[in-house]
Structure 1
Amino acid sequence: MDEATRERLRIAAHQLDAINALLLDPQSQVINDFLAVVAKYGSVEEINRKAEEARQLPNLLARLKELHSPYLDDLHWLMEQRDRGAFISVAEYRRAVLGERAEQMPFDDRLAVVLEISALQYFPWLIREAHQAIERRELMPGRYIRVRKMKEQERDNGDILAVAAAMQIIGASYVETLDTRGTDGANIHLGGPETITGYFGGVGQPNDYALKWLDEYLYYY
């Protein structure tokens, strides 16, 4: 790319000033509503501090203990399996599939494929998956997608907390799908050819759903 073309990517200062003017305008209703939702949960620093504390593994386990959750024993079992090296490693899996060729074959980890499960709806399934991975010498997935209703999870013996703890134990990443996503009939694009645009892009959502989503996000954060 020549420098003249690159220069066209520059954001002019007056355009940034216009954005700041909107964000800082005390009469801006949308920003005022946004800040009002945030204020329900405290200052930015307080919100982040609480979230950091809440996601610590010892705190998650303590909350599950307070709930008398049946999932607590499963989490202790999962930690024991991890600590004793019960799960097959990537190197071992390669040897199991490729045999002696695995020792000489180069692997480019920059292009590694992530085994993803979509969707992990119930915590007990994860434990069954762990049992199967150990028994059959299979790789455990490294990423999980969840789309079960949040309120339903919340009422299920600490399911949300148990999954959050399990992800830390096995070193996996995961994503929760919040309930504010237009599937209640609010988004006119869902169910038709524009479903992906509406579901993932938020196109077609009523304006107040952005605030509802923020409220729900901070509640679970």
Structure 2
Amino acid sequence: MTLEISACQYFPWIIEEARVAIEREELMPGRVIRVRKMKEQEKDNDLVAFAAAMQITGSSYVETLDTKGTAPGPDGMPVNVHLGGPDTITGYFGGVGQPNDFALKWADEYLYYYTKYGVKQVLHINPGTVLIGSMMHKLGIDMEFTISVFMGNDNPYACLWTLMTAKLFSRPDGTSPLIGFNLSNSVNNETIEMAAYIRKQFGFEDVVRIEHHITETYKHIVRQPYDRLDELLEIADHVKNVSAKHEGAVPEIDAKREHPSDILEYFMSKEDIMTQGLMPKMTLNYLDKHDALNRTARELTKRGLTFMAAPLLHK
């Protein structure tokens, strides 16, 4: 079991989290997801600073590349024509998207950050880039990726084709670039168990981590209250290599916040966040996720179950 947090958008957040963890004698996450714009964090050196922080903690981390359907087109609107706010709400059913040549542009962007900054793990939101990433790994590029919750893998059959593709493009030593498989928030424990069964048959039990949200941002992604801790505790003693992802506060906490966590803020520029005075509020939202993560750790400990926090900080 890995203790995971998402999304740590800004380097100062991990510093503040460390201060809190030291003061309270709590745990730091063993895995961190980031969704901040790559060019923006490259410009203010956040990309390098965060990578250094992860080397200190020993935690794995995942970046989200800019080449996706939310990128602005020539008219300033998202390049994916389905993304237009409430007026195109049913268009969102098709996902964020990486239309036309964006899949190949995604590969170019990956190679840029891989060769210049050593970014290795990235997030996938589209089947096309999953295939391209698998081919790149087969050709010898040591990339790793996580399939996002936004891909909507919500049944065992979706898990089967995904893991089957990973097996098809695995190397002779059994390794696969697919090291994180974030299932849909709508899956139940039976689907997780069946996904784990399929994973084992392909020899990926120690290779592919099944990721599942225990908490989610309070606004704009799931109906609240969303809290899957009890279900996690039911499978934690027999489903191996699971990552417990904390993307929001415990719902009862978020509901009382003046500014609850909001996934739409992942797509805001830092300039807009600072202009609107949101940074302190978003920092508090992130620390709420830290609290949710440590709640999970306590409940696992009560049951004698093991987990991985930041491996170079905790033994």
TM-score (normalizing by structure 2): 0.31
- Structure having the higher helix fraction is 1
Higher CA-based Rg:
1
